[in-house]
Amino acid sequence: MTKIELTVDGAAVSDDVEPRMLLVQYLREKLGKTGTVIGCDTSNCGACTVHLDGTSVKSCNVLAVQANGRTVTTIEGLADTAEGELHPVQESFRECHGLQCGFCTPGMIMQAVDLLGENPDPTEEEVRLGMEGNLCRCTGYHNIVKSVLHAAEGAKA
Amino acid sequence: MIPVKFDYLAPTSVEEALAALGEHGDEAKILAGGQSLLPVLRMRLNAPEVVIDLGGISSLRGIRDDGDAIVIGAMTTHHDVRDHALVHEHALLLAKAAAEVADSQIRHRGTFGGALAHADPAGDLGAPALALGAQFVIAGPGGTRTVEADDFFVDLFETAIGEDEILTEVRVPKHTGWGAHYEKFVRVAHQWPIVAVAATVKGSIDEARVGLTNMGSTPLRARATEAALAGASATEDGVREASELAAEGTNPPSDLNGAAEYRQHLARVLTGRAVLKAAGAQ
């Protein structure tokens, strides 16, 4: 077992974990943060995307011990406003119906937030390229792209 | 799936990491960014008893100017290589190729040195590193040595790095002002290339360097093409003859993505495109 101390969604946590434990397992099984989901388990689909020290990573492709001393933000910690309010990107996905089954949505939103942080006013092509590490098997991506562009418009207003 | 159990070591200096490697030998595996290693561990294609994580060694990160070269720390992420001003100024080809590695999330974690040491022949950084004549600085128990790009890639997933050694940094000779393009041919997004061509040119065209991805068990230099491009004009007609030479001496794999002959065809076509884009002619 290896001791880790990190910040997850604003709260300091510490645990003894097996070195082989994946960050996504740690979030789900130890902390109960099941908003972050496991899709493909091969680092392809991006459903497990979280932010590690402020940038997007696939949490199935990071060991929990690698997050020692660092800051993790999951979909559950994205909205920092009062209870019931959504993050603007979450709100945009809701408004534009950027989901069908919803399984890829936590990862889509986390990646969209990262993308807009780096490029606040992206073109449609830049959104499609920036989201290439996130797979959706329902929507055909159109409303997801629309949601990201809508969130960018909203941030300008 | 979950990896087989292993012991985890997190050294904070290269010396500590080398000592750990020396102690555990071939039972140990080095963890850089982990974007290739973790899938391998999860699928249990490899089950090292000890994993030595270089993530805590801050001296392995960063990019600096060193006279006639820029020096890229082995643990610098693809994302940082893609965006760094020194890379854009002196080794634009690396920025272009780093931008094409996998996807955004993986570029945030994956490292320049880790990818090169992994030596996947379909990896995006070997061909540009080879084309730019990079030098690989390798630390071992007896000190540090430097290996030229031509000698670094030995075979499939095999480099000149010894079992008791660690790649610490890569020196990239300055190609200041050279145009560059990485032409990657993929079937779906964020995948390894079926074939890719890394081209960088001085003027249009005084000199050219061309590297090939996934055209053999290691990255390759298209030297006949380079020779033919010197003094060529940056037009479709001007580069046609040189592009036709791009597959000379290659031995690409045949798999579900394409037969060897198809890959050789791609290498010729993509070389023409890469060179013209590098020269700003397309």
**pLDDT tens digits, A42-80:** 889 999 999 999 999 999 999 999 999 999 999 999 997
Residue A21 is given by DSSP the state -
Mean pLDDT of A102-114: 98
Q: Would residue A122 count as lying in a domain?
A: yes
**Banded pLDDT at A82 (limits 50, 70, 90):** low
Residue B229 backbone dihedrals phi, psi, to 5 degrees? -80, -20
- Chain mean pLDDT for chain A: 96
Do residues A73 and A33 share a domain?
A: yes
Task: Please identify, among B15, B32, B52, the residue that sits at the C-terminal boundary of a domain.
Answer: B52
Residue A69's domain spans which residues?
2-77
Do residues B184 and B265 share a domain?
A: yes
Ranges of chain B with pLDDT below 70: none
Q: Report chain A's C-alpha Rg in angstroms.
A: 15
Please give the tally of structural domains in chain B: 3
- Per-residue pLDDT at A156 exceeds 90: no
In angstroms, rounded to a whole number, what is the distance separating the alpha carbons of residues B173 and A116?
Answer: 34
Q: Is B201 helix (H, G, I), strand (E, B) or coil?
A: strand
Q: Do A62 and B109 touch (CB under 8 A)?
A: yes
Do residues B194 and B103 share a domain?
A: no
What per-residue confidence (pLDDT) applies to A153? 95
- Domain with residue A67: its CATH number is 3.10.20.30
β-bridge pairing B28-31 and B50-53: parallel
Residue B262's domain spans which residues?
180-278
Do residues A72 and A48 share a domain?
A: yes
Do residues A8 and A68 share a domain?
A: yes
The nearest CA of chain A is from the CA of B35 a distance in Å of: 6
Residue type, A138: C
- Per-residue pLDDT at A113 exceeds 70: yes
Please give the tally of structural domains in chain A: 2
Q: Would residue B70 count as lying in a domain?
A: yes
Q: Would residue A82 count as lying in a domain?
A: no
Q: Do B5 and A65 touch (CB under 8 A)?
A: no
What per-residue confidence (pLDDT) applies to A81? 63
Q: Do A43 and B41 touch (CB under 8 A)?
A: no
Scanning B132-179, the segments in alpha helix (DSSP H) are: 149-152
**pTM tops 0.90, yes or no:** yes
**Banded pLDDT at A84 (limits 50, 70, 90):** confident
For B58-61, the CB contacts below 8 A with 24+ separation are B59/B13, B59/B14, B60/B14, B60/B113, B60/B168, B60/B169
Q: Would residue B2 count as lying in a domain?
A: no
Q: A44 to chain B: which residues are within 8 Å by CB? A: 190
What per-residue confidence (pLDDT) applies to A1? 93
Q: Do B108 and A20 touch (CB under 8 A)?
A: no
Scanning chain B, the segments in alpha helix (DSSP H) are: 14-24, 37-42, 78-83, 85-90, 92-98, 104-109, 112-118, 126-131, 149-152, 223-229, 236-244, 260-278
Q: Would residue B1 count as lying in a domain?
A: no
How many pairs of residues across A and B have Cβ atoms under 8 Å apart? 85
